[in-house]
């Protein structure tokens, strides 16, 4: 936090990591996550190490989530 209690704006990387975290939670609720969870955690790691852009990571996470939801 900044002085005065203001929050620091999130970086695009942190926003992508947080978004992927919400996708992970959604996948947990849908069950049977042999593939999805390790892949999503790997995307978070790749964003942290700058192996992948935040935009690409969000796109891939969204595709995984959409496939997961269409299976139900």
Q: What is the mean pLDDT of residues 56-69?
A: 94
**Helix-strand-coil percent breakdown of the chain, rounded to 5?**
70, 0, 30
How much is the pLDDT for 3? 66
Per residue in 9-62, pLDDT tens?
999 999 999 999 999 999 888 887 788 999 999 999 999 999 999 999 999 999
pTM for this prediction = 0.84
Q: Distance between CA atoms of 60 and 62, rounded to whole angstroms?
A: 5
CA dist 43 and 6 (Å) reads: 29
Residue 53 backbone dihedrals phi, psi, to 5 degrees? -75, 155
């Amino acid at each position: 936090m900044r002085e005065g209690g203001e929050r620091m704006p999130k970086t695009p990387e942190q926003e992508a990591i947080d978004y992927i975290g919400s996708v992970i939670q959604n996948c947990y609720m849908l069950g049977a996550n042999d593939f999805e969870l390790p892949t999503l955690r790997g995307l978070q790691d790749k964003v942290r190490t700058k192996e992948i852009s935040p935009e690409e990571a969000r796109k891939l996470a969204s595709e995984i989530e959409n496939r997961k939801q269409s299976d139900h």
